[in-house]
Amino acid sequence: MKKILTISCIAAALIACRKTDFTPASVSPGSANFTTYVAVGNSLTEGYMDDGLSAYGQGHSYPSILAQQMKLADPSMAFLQPMVTGNGSGYIHLAYVNGQIDPINATDSTYVNPTGPDPSWANWGTTLQGTFVNNMGISGIRLTDCVSDGGLEKSINWVVCSQNPFGRFMNFGNLGVPIQYIDHIRSSKATFFTCWLGDNDVLGYALNGGVSSSPFPGVTLNNITTPAEFAQKYDSVLTAFHNIGAQGICMTIPNVTSIPYFNTVPTFVLVNGVRKYFYIQTGNGSVRLATNNDYILLPAYDSVTAGCGTTIGRPIPNDLVLDAAEADSVAVATVQYNNSIKSLAAQFGYGVVDMYTYLQEFQTSETIDGISFSRTFIQGGTFGLDGIHPTARGYADVANQIILEINSKYGATIPQVDITKYNAEIFPNF
Amino acid sequence: MKRKITMALCLLPFAVFAGGFQIPQQSIKSTGLGGAFTGICTDASAVFFNPAGMTNLFGQNVTIGSVGLFPSVSVLTQDNVNTNQTTSVYTPIEFYYSGQICKNFWVGLSINNQFGAAASYPNTWEGEYIVQTIKLQTFMFQPTIAYKICDQLSVGAGFVYSLGTFGGSKALPVSGATTSGDTTRNGEVNLSGTGHAFGYNIGLFSKIFEHKADSASNSWGEALTIGVSYRSGMPFTVPNGTADFTDIPASIASQFPASEGVSTSVSLPAVLSAGVALKFSKGYNWDFMVAFDFNLTYWSSYDSLRFNFADPNTPSSTYQYGWSNATAYRLGVEATYMKKYTLRAGYYIDNTPEVSSMTPEVVDGSNAGFSVGASYKFNCGLSLDFAYLNSNFTRDNVSFTSQNFTASYHRIVNVIGFGVNYAFNCKCKKSSN
């Protein structure tokens, strides 16, 4: 008995020494200075999600996720976003109707819409003017709108910026004395920045099927910014950051035609196993059969389902088609923009996250932590219900890519976020 | 824009029947000797380790034992968070019988749990879409015969029937169900099933030489024994498993019914072992032994796992492992005084089949460790065994490649075993020779 007791005591002591816990690694900013982090960019930066700007989307913007991780290295840093209230501008949600899933727009009032605009949205932002915000992303803004040497272009930029509801938090001055977007960069006191400007310089054109529009006399939207102008203005933005001594990371422009908006509606229907291509109206107005190099845009979904495009007399209209020639000009410009971004960032000594290359991988399917990501509309998990902007999970992954680059460029040890904590689409339950 | 949704989920990469699940501690004596036993065969656990080794045992012998496996596993994920497995103590049992029918013929029976484990993680951890809980238990029943051709050569063979039960759960990346009141809560799948398999176990045992010590003159004696055994692979089929899906939003529930049948099959690997034992004795009072074992486990046969669901709407899933065959080297020493008190010590090097990859379902790593053991013989029939073994390894930033999951792992397993041996109809004088 005594022996058994002795043995049991030894056993208990041995079992006690089995602590395996890891001490989490210490988080260091390395040579980076996160005191004032400024994010510049467009809708992707502002936190636009499911075709709207909501508090949820802003709370899951990649700059906000990034700042949360930067704070682990520098707990004293402050990070402010121009928050909307609740649904903000309103956004698309999924409904479950007669056994099918249906994305419902913010403005759809067929029945009570739980994701319609918040009443405060109409006046959102104006009271924030004058308050410094760290997330300066403005949905819809192009690089070309950010800076101008003067003259008519400066006035046009003022019109475009000041009329943009998603930029109402920023003071653009008045037509006589405009304050440019780049002026806000210059006065930002940024010590660290991320720059994801430039998507809309091709995306606006592509989303509109290559059709430009003129909302105000003398103002043309949705054309492709020339690569020379892009390079010059990108240089101005980086110079502005350089002059205030900021460190930072630049992101390249994704291949816009790889997103669900351009890949969900097929260019043909299968009739008895044979591909019957749709009739489309091309950029020059002519009507022809679609090919595999044309893209039919997501908003054409319902009209194509209703038979549009099946006869020559009823082609899919020009503004719902990015035809092969238009797609080609988008692709050419994107590559040239990205060459400029990479060479300018290198010239200024800034880091680069090649989002173009990274998002190409999602064309098939990627798995992260056991979750599959693809570019498939709705269920792919990467892109939200507008087929353009990432889900919260997608934004978390963007933030993780930037963290990798910050760590490698500045010797920081910021941990990546756990993407499993971020949601993709919420599926309806009734 | 109404549409039907078909979720293409990477659904079930479960390693349910997997690798580090082999439990080498199938005998208390062997555990104390770092796992060596193929060439030793001094108790009835020989039925399992080397069927031919039964011929080393006189009369009828029973060995019953159990080990307590106390695992402790921590995982440091990429978000710099430490997660501890909440792992329950696992207590495989062992029952061995060896009976000498006549001068040259033995029959035996082995019942044990050669593969088994249980582990669970908190359901909020970074790997929740890979594994939340996993549980495996196998029972091996092995009737065995052995024939002694001469002192230098015995042969043995056993037929193995195995029964396995498994269960596992993980999160599914679909959210929206409101049963828990939280629309961001993910879905979950629970798998369970029972399967069986047949195999065999064969061995050779040889007493190369034996010179007995003379107790009167207190002289030295020596003996050398060797053994080789091969336990076949076990092709399990699980024809009637169950998959339960919970917290699935109604809009995609047609793909994931609350409960449906699932079938799978998987081969547990074959093990080849070779061992040698060298014994010295001095007079009556002292006996010494040095033993060495080599094991080769054919994990490369453990190739892929495919789950087929009864409902054609549920995406089936095939999962590739790409494991390597794994070797183990085991060295044990033993000293016995007065044929009554025995102390053992062992050292082992156990290589993992998960060489370049690691799944959190089966936290495994190559490791080396020490073991100790002791026996006490009450009388010529009854003896008790005790053993303790500790295994400890850390692996930094290893990836589960197919799921793109990278983490650091630290595992400590304490093993404590107790066993009872009983020799029936023993002839004290003869057995004490």
Among candidates B74, B170, B376 on the partner chain, residue whose Cβ is nearest the Cβ of A20: B74
| CB pair distance less than 8 Å for B410 and A381 | no
In a domain, A408, yes or no: yes
Q: Please determine, for residue B270, whether its predicted confidence score (pLDDT) is greater than 80.
A: yes
Write the DSSP assignment of A77-102 as a string of letters: ------PPPTTTT---EEEEETTEEE
| B307 token code pair | 């789950």
In a domain, B404, yes or no: no
SS3 B305: strand
Q: Which residue of A has its CA nearest to B127?
A: A369
Residue B262 banded pLDDT, cuts 50, 70, 90: confident
Average pLDDT, integer, range B27-37: 94
Q: Please determine, for residue B19, whether its predicted confidence score (pLDDT) is greater than 90.
A: no
Rounded to two decimals, what is the model's pTM? Answer: 0.89
* C-alpha closest to that of B297 among B16, B14, B20: B20
Strand partners, A37: A192
Q: Which DSSP symbol is given to B311?
A: S
Best of B14, B66, B74, B80 to disrupt the A interface by mutation (most A CBs within 10 Å)?
B80
**Predicted pLDDT of residue B18:** 44
Average pLDDT, integer, range B428-432: 44
| A335 token code pair | 């590559």
Among candidates B70, B184, B411 on the partner chain, residue whose Cβ is nearest the Cβ of A15: B70
Residue B353's CATH number: 2.40.160.60
| CB pair distance less than 8 Å for B183 and A379 | no
Evaluated on CA atoms A47, A48, A53, A56, the torsion sign reads negative
**pLDDT 10s digits, B156-187:** 999 999 998 888 888 888 887 665 566 677 88
| CB pair distance less than 8 Å for B173 and A424 | yes
**Predicted pLDDT of residue B14:** 52
**Predicted pLDDT of residue B6:** 56
> What's the CA gap between A82 and A120, in Å, rounded?
13
A41 touches chain B (CB under 8 A): no
> What's the CA gap between B164 and B237, in Å, rounded?
9
Q: How many CB atoms lie within 10 A of CB A9?
A: 10
**Predicted pLDDT of residue B321:** 63
**Predicted pLDDT of residue A150:** 81
Find how far residue A314's CA is from the centre of its chain. 34
In a domain, A403, yes or no: yes
Number of domains in chain B: 1
Q: What ipTM was predicted for this assembly?
A: 0.87
| CB pair distance less than 8 Å for A427 and B80 | no
E strands of B91-185, at which residues? 93-102, 105-112, 116-120, 133-150, 153-175
Among candidates A14, A96, A420 on the partner chain, residue whose Cβ is nearest the Cβ of B251: A96
Number of domains in chain A: 1
Average pLDDT, integer, range B273-297: 94
Cβ–Cβ pairs < 8 A, chains A and B: 153
Structural domain for A82, as ranges: 30-259+325-421
**pLDDT 10s digits, B300-351:** 876 556 677 787 777 666 666 677 889 999 999 999 999 999 999 999 999 9
Strand partners, B172: B187
**Predicted pLDDT of residue A137:** 97
Average pLDDT, integer, range B366-395: 93
**Predicted pLDDT of residue B433:** 36
Among candidates B82, B130, B176 on the partner chain, residue whose Cβ is nearest the Cβ of A22: B82
Distance between B158 CA and the closest CA of chain A, angstroms: 35
Percent of chain B with pLDDT strictly greater than 70: 89
Among candidates A302, A416, A417 on the partner chain, residue whose Cβ is nearest the Cβ of B1: A302
| CB pair distance less than 8 Å for B183 and A429 | yes
In a domain, B204, yes or no: yes
**Predicted pLDDT of residue A8:** 65
A424 touches chain B (CB under 8 A): yes
Chain B residues in contact with A379 (beta carbon < 8 A):
5-8
| A359 token code pair | 């998002």
In a domain, B19, yes or no: no
**Predicted pLDDT of residue A221:** 76
A26 touches chain B (CB under 8 A): no
A149 touches chain B (CB under 8 A): no
Q: How many helices (H) and strands (E) does chain B have?
A: 3, 20
SS3 B296: strand
More confident site: A167 or B86: A167
Distance between B343 CA and the closest CA of chain A, angstroms: 14
Secondary element (H or E) of residue A154: helix A151-162
**pLDDT 10s digits, B194-249:** 999 999 999 999 999 998 877 777 788 999 999 999 999 988 888 888 989 888 88
In a domain, A63, yes or no: yes
A366 touches chain B (CB under 8 A): yes
Structural domain for B92, as ranges: 28-68+86-179+189-396+413-431
In a domain, A22, yes or no: no
CB contacts under 8 A, A 50-79 vs B, are: 72
Average pLDDT, integer, range B108-126: 89
In a domain, A320, yes or no: no
Strand partners, B330: B293, B348
C-alpha triplet A296, A299, A302: angle, nearest 5°: 95
In a domain, A313, yes or no: no
Tokens 């030295």 belong to residue? B220
In a domain, B389, yes or no: yes
> What is the pLDDT of chain B when averaged over all its residues?
86
**Predicted pLDDT of residue B431:** 41
**Predicted pLDDT of residue B167:** 85
| CB pair distance less than 8 Å for A416 and B388 | no
Q: Compute the CA torsion angle A50, A56, A58, A60 (nearest 10 deg).
A: -90
Residue A173's CATH number: 3.40.50.1110
CB contacts under 8 A, A 297-326 vs B, are: 301-302
* C-alpha closest to that of B200 among B141, B153, B147: B141
A218 touches chain B (CB under 8 A): no
C-alpha triplet A271, A273, A279: angle, nearest 5°: 40
Q: Is the distance from CB of B251 to CB of B218 less than 8 angstroms?
A: no
Q: What is the mean pLDDT of each run of 10 residues along chain A (430 residues)?
A: 64 66 91 97 96 96 98 95 96 87 86 89 91 96 92 90 94 93 96 97 91 74 91 97 97 92 91 91 91 93 88 92 94 97 98 92 78 85 92 95 97 95 85
**Predicted pLDDT of residue B17:** 45
In a domain, B121, yes or no: yes
Average pLDDT, integer, range B99-109: 95
**Predicted pLDDT of residue B177:** 67
SS3 B346: strand
